[in-house]
Amino acid sequence: MNEVKELIDQLQPETYIGRYGKIYTDTSDFMRISYGDIIKIRGKHYLVLRDEVERSFGLEDPKYWVKRCKLLETGERKILKLVFYEKFFLNMGETQIPCYRSPRKEARILDLVRGDKRFMQGFSMDDSAGNNVRIIDVIRGKRLDIIVHNIQADHKTYFHEFLPEILEKFIDACEGIAFLHKHGEKHGDIRRDHLWVDSKTKQYRWIDFDYTFDFYENPFGLDIFGLGALLLYLVGKNYYTPQNLPDFGFPADALASLKQDDYLLLFRNRLANLGKLFPYIPKELNWMLLHFSCGTNVFYDTTDEFLKDLRACLQLIKKN
């Protein structure tokens, strides 16, 4: 009898799968591990249901090293992140910043934030070949950016009626990043699809900590820029680019006034100077956004500096 079928019949007899695969204790060749296989680590059996995908507004990007699984001993759904190394460079102005995946770094952060619901939860174990496998609890919820995108309101209504509560919870999430920095750790990949809203608690929760970077001017600089880009999305209820700006009906003189200095330094097609589009945005909040623009010569050195200004801006918005 197929060993996988035997295990499923024994541990989860009500589970149906269309393919009985193999049992893997060495996850090095993660491309070969697919639906119907079992990953066995330290006596636990994880039935692979599918590869994870990152979804962004209709587009799907498969992550073949990340497996959605069922733990046969309990029936719980888990995400297994297998070892995958890659390296690339981000350009910030004239500076090239090396970025790379570090499974051991993600494992450290999982240990550091255990019990802290501002972050995804999990633990790591080595497989038989010494690969560091991270075993992650599934967050029941949705990405914050999709929730914001789906709010049915014009921007002015959104800004005054929805954004204050969103920023309060975002500040709590940013305090989580400050906690990492105080312990010498980086998130490493702060972007809009890596902040989720727990459907039960409504807590904002960070996911995916396996990227890191070497930014010698500021060891936490990319995290801070990531927070700035995410704040820009929350304030604008969108990212505004030269490609989509004509679709929103902004005044022609406002569009004509835009310069390269008004766009983000790190993502040069995203408009940072939202005050030119939405004059009711307080100048203090717009000034925060301009800290991340091509035209700035003033940067945030720490997450605490960023948080101090953001808390003050939230109070301004609440008064209006």
Provide φ and ψ at 284, rounded to 5°. -65, -40
What is the C-alpha to C-alpha distance for residues 237 and 192, in angstroms, rounded to an integer?
Answer: 12
Determine the Cα angle at 226 with ends 222 and 227, to 5°.
120
Q: Which two tokens stand for residue 93?
A: 């102005």
Q: Judge whether 25 and 17 are in contact, CB under 8 Å.
A: no
Q: How many CB atoms lie within 10 A of CB 276?
A: 20
Mean pLDDT for all residues in the chain: 94
> 3-82: which CATH topology?
SH3 type barrels. (2.30.30)
* Residue appearing with tokens 């240990």: 111
Predicted local confidence at residue 57, as pLDDT? 55
Residue 86: count other Cβ atoms within 10 Å of its Cβ: 9
Long-range own/partner contacts, residues 85-91 (CB < 8 A, 24 or more apart): 90/213, 90/222, 90/266
Distance of CA 96 to the CA centre of its chain: 22
Mean pLDDT for the stretch of residues 241-265: 95
Give the distance from CA 267 to its chain's centroid. Answer: 16
pTM of the model: 0.94
State the pLDDT at residue 1: 47
Cβ neighbour number for residue 131 with a 10 Å cutoff: 17
Taking CA atoms, 100 is separated from 89, 97, 163, 216, 263, in Å, by: 9, 10, 34, 15, 26
Residue 211 — very low, low, confident or very high, per pLDDT cuts 50/70/90?
A: very high
Residue spans per domain, the chain: 3-82, 141-319
pLDDT at 58: 58
CATH placement of domain 141-319:
1.10.510.10
**Tokens at 226, concatenated:** 């990531």
Work out the average pLDDT over 291-304: 95
For the chain, percent of residues with pLDDT exceeding 70: 98
Residue 138 DSSP one-character state: P
Whole-angstrom Cα distance, residue 121 to residue 135?
9
- Amino acid symbol at 277: L
Output the six-digit token pair for 201: 């608690």
User: 96-155 pLDDT, tens per residue?
Assistant: 889 999 999 999 999 999 999 999 999 999 999 999 999 999 999 999 999 999 999 999
